[in-house]
């Protein structure tokens, strides 16, 4: 996981302040429990998209 985080940082795809612990926290807490499998999949995908967008590196303005 550490190598993946480092590669993402070097590629400019991950914020510099994001750690492996942050990624593990996101993985552990990002799966809502819904009774319908389709809703579960849709909610998990949507949440992951939002979380990943928030972790991306942005150019300074």
Question: Could you report the per-residue pLDDT of 10-26, keeping only the tens digit for each?
Answer: 998 888 998 999 888 88
* Domain segments of the chain as ranges: 2-55
Go through 2-30 and write b for each residue having 16 or more CB atoms within 10 A of its CB, e for each that does not: eeebeebeeeeebeeebeeeebeebeeee
Higher pLDDT, 52 or 38: 38
Q: Answer yes or no: is pLDDT of 7 > 70.
A: yes
């Amino acid at each position: 996981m550490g190598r993946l985080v480092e590669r993402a940082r070097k590629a400019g795809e991950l914020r510099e302040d994001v750690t492996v612990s942050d990624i593990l926290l996101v993985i552990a807490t990002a799966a809502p429990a819904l009774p319908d499998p389709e809703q579960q999949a849709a909610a998990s995908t949507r949440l992951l998209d939002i979380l990943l967008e928030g972790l991306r590196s942005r150019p300074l303005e």
